[in-house]
Structure formats: structure tokens, C-alpha cells
Structure 1
Amino acid sequence: MTILTTVLGVVALLILTASLIYTFKVGKLVSERKANYDTQINEKVQEHPYARNPIFLAYLIAGVLSLSYIFYLAFTITR
């Protein structure tokens, strides 16, 4: 290994370690805040937590649109 590769490896390891420590600190802070400020979740959301989550809906819609576009291109492009 060259010196540059070793230095870049050490820098990457330091960044990963610092990121892991920061993530744990933020997680602890969020859990402390959640214990103090969290309110009751709506019953409809409790019954269907995945169907009411906008992130999952966005992934689902993006996936369907992407697959639709791929199939459209596959059937309309002629060789």
C-alpha cells in the first residue's frame, strides 16, 4: 500500500468513528426529548402505521412510476 492509501484509510476510519459517536449522541438526545414531549399517536395511524407513513407511500409511488416507465420503454423502443 502506498502512503496515500494508508492516509486515506486512516482518515476514513476517523470519519466513520466520529460519525458513529455523533449518531449515538443524537439518538440519546432524541430519546430523551421523546420521553418528555411525545404525545399520543392517532388511533388510525396506530392501526395502519405503514399505510399512513408518507415516506413509505413516496417509495411505493416512485417504484410504481419507475417500473411503469421501464416497461413503457421496453415495449415502445424498436431495434
Structure 2
Amino acid sequence: MFLEPNKYMDLKICTLKVSSEIIKYLLKKKNHKIKYSSLHSHFYSIYGEDCNYIIIPAINFLYLVGKLNYIKKKDELELIK
């Protein structure tokens, strides 16, 4: 996954933008956790069909940089401070 901008990149739905939106959304949650299906529903209401293509790379990016933890038993994403 490369994060280099190019002339075809849509800055409204790029990985960094969506990742920052995920962090903002999780910070609003009481315990900084959310079920994946709830997160997907929230972003589907914002981005529509594009959500299916942009949310997974954003989650992967946050996991790789150590900002997100996935709890398999509960299918939850947890923000790591």
C-alpha cells in the first residue's frame, strides 16, 4: 500500500482521510470501541458504495501504525491511545 498522491487520487476518499475520520468517530464513542458492522454502516451512510472499497484499507493502515486493535471474539475495533 503506497500513500503517494497522484493526479487520479480523490482526496475526499483517500486512505489517510478515511483513517482520520475513523479515529474521530472512535474518539466520540464512550469506550473507544465499535463493532465492525456499525462502523461500516456509519461510513456507508457517508460514502455510499465507495465505502466497500475504502474502509478496509483505512482499517489496515490504522492497524499497521498501531492505532487500532481488532477483537476477533466480539468483531470489534478498538482505538489504541
- Give yes or no for TM over 0.5: no
Q: Which of structures 1 and 2 has the bigger CA Rg?
A: 1
TM-score by length of 2: 0.25
- Higher RCO structure, 1 or 2 (CA under 8 Å, sep 6+): 2
TM-score by length of 1: 0.25
Greater share of residues in strand: 2
